Amino acid sequence: MIKSIYEYGELTVRVRGKKSFMLVKSDYDAMVSAENIQTALRRLEGTRYQPYISQMLIEEFNLGKAEENLTKAYLDDFNFILSKLKNRRAIEFFREFNRLFEFKTLASIFRSIVLGVGWEKALEYTVPFGRLDSSTCKRLIEEKNVKNVFGFIEDENLIKEVEKIVGEVEDPILQANMVELALNRYALERVWEKLLRLKGRDRLAVKLVGITIDTLNIMAVLRLKKLEFKPDEIETFLIPIFYMLKDKEVKRAVTASNDADALKVFASGEYVDVVSPLLSGYEVRRDLSLLEVALKRYHAKECERIFFQPFFHFGEALAYLYLKMYEVKDLISILTGKYFGLPADKIEYSLVLHQPPHPI
């Protein structure tokens, strides 16, 4: 206990303090129902986001710039937590966790290059992170040479795998998806390896990462079933790590006759409370975003529950970062909805925090 207090005493106090300043439901409601973007942004005055949005209040609104500024709020918290970590295993995990986000950015850059997407458009889905800051992302995309991306991969075997995909897969969309999968799989396997080395109460963090990996696998199976991929093709896209999912369950879903039947398989497993209420709606709408949003909301609730556990462990910092990430993405969704004139119910549909378990 004394060691835990030494390692996490300051971090626990600071993280819980930061969490207390997160937005609440009334903030969300006010922003969603605001008449325009500027009114929505003003709701963030006086919050921890003020330094990141103050300039936007006096300039013409730029959606790409807004996303970049809000993402910086998350990155600043990420770097703050890294600077306060003292536990060696937690630091090793966090560095791999950092690479996971870098690889997500790298996958977005690769996608932009192979699909011929310019920098301004790429900003809508590319989040600069770590070594891949805004200027580096812009340079790589404008150079339009996928080989320049390889220098950020570093691992020789992974470089060869990506080069093989580039050389053998002709369809640019499939090529981008397969490269993204390869990068994600590599990064998540490394993250999982470091995660399982954590000791004691720090292992509460395992659940938080495990649910996100399960979510990626569930969504991959369903999307590929919808595209009528063959079972052996689907298996190559899966991350070979299961947390609450069972191997037999995944195999049954992969070999199901269609996406709706695959969803029913997942509705009979550990995620029954998340999936089962969506079955009838999916039969009508065939919209997988229903499930994806519900799984994220479930994950967010599990992150909240970490703060009802005993103090002084790494799980608190990781849970806060996940919640902060959802909050930033929610703010971007709200501003995007306002920018394109979407009604309030359409905006709320995609939000994660301060929402009912299932999107209506």
Distant-in-sequence contacts of 300-303, Cβ < 8 A, 24+ apart:
300/326, 300/352, 300/353, 301/357, 302/207, 302/208, 302/211, 303/208
Q: Please tell me the predicted confidence (pLDDT) of residue 128.
A: 82
Give the count of beta carbons closer than 10 Å to the beta carbon of residue 144. 12
Percent of the chain with pLDDT over 90: 75
Say if residues 222 and 282 touch (Cβ distance below 8 Å).
Answer: no
HSE (side-chain half, CA atoms, 13 Å) at 158: 19
Identify whether 159 is part of a domain. Answer: yes
Identify whether 164 is part of a domain. Answer: yes
Query: In the chain, which ranges are continuous DSSP H helix?
Result: 2-20, 25-33, 37-42, 50-53, 63-84, 88-115, 119-122, 134-143, 156-168, 172-195, 205-226, 231-237, 247-254, 259-267, 272-275, 279-285, 289-306, 314-339, 344-349
Q: Please tell me the predicted confidence (pLDDT) of residue 207.
A: 97
Q: Please tell me the predicted confidence (pLDDT) of residue 156.
A: 93
Identify whether 327 is part of a domain. Answer: no
Closest CA to 295 of 267, 321, 258: 267
* Digit-coded pLDDT (tens) for 258-273: 999 999 999 999 999 9
Instruction: Provide the β-strand partners of residue 14.
Output: none
- Pick the range with the lowest mean pLDDT from 121-125, 248-252, 329-333: 121-125
Q: Please tell me the predicted confidence (pLDDT) of residue 2.
A: 74
Is the pLDDT score of 198 beyond 90?
yes
Taking the C-alpha atoms of residue 205 and residue 198, their distance in angstroms, rounded to an integer, is: 9
Say if residues 148 and 217 touch (Cβ distance below 8 Å).
Answer: no
Q: Please tell me the predicted confidence (pLDDT) of residue 59.
A: 87
Number of domains in the chain: 1
Identify whether 332 is part of a domain. Answer: no
Mean pLDDT along residues 143-165: 91
Identify whether 104 is part of a domain. Answer: yes
Q: How confident is the model at residue 1 (pLDDT cuts 50, 70, 90)?
A: low
Mean pLDDT along residues 192-199: 95
What the block records as the tokens of 123 is 């900003």
Q: Please tell me the predicted confidence (pLDDT) of residue 210.
A: 97
Q: Is 286 exposed, middle or buried (0-12, 13-18, 19+ CB in 10 A)?
A: exposed
* Digit-coded pLDDT (tens) for 89-98: 999 999 899 8
Supply the range of the domain harboring residue 95.
Answer: 62-197
* Digit-coded pLDDT (tens) for 32-83: 999 999 999 999 999 999 999 999 988 888 888 888 899 899 999 999 999 9
Encoded amino acid at 248, one letter? K
pTM score: 0.92
* Digit-coded pLDDT (tens) for 157-167: 999 999 999 99
Q: Please tell me the predicted confidence (pLDDT) of residue 172.
A: 92
Mean pLDDT along residues 182-201: 94
Identify whether 100 is part of a domain. Answer: yes
Percent of the chain with pLDDT over 70: 100
Is the pLDDT score of 123 beyond 80?
no
Averaged pLDDT score across all residues of the chain: 93
Identify whether 306 is part of a domain. Answer: no
HSE (side-chain half, CA atoms, 13 Å) at 189: 10
Say if residues 77 and 304 touch (Cβ distance below 8 Å).
Answer: no
Q: Please tell me the predicted confidence (pLDDT) of residue 183.
A: 93
For residue 160, give Cα distances in angstroms to 150, 167, 172: 9, 10, 18
Q: Please tell me the predicted confidence (pLDDT) of residue 144.
A: 92
Identify whether 167 is part of a domain. Answer: yes
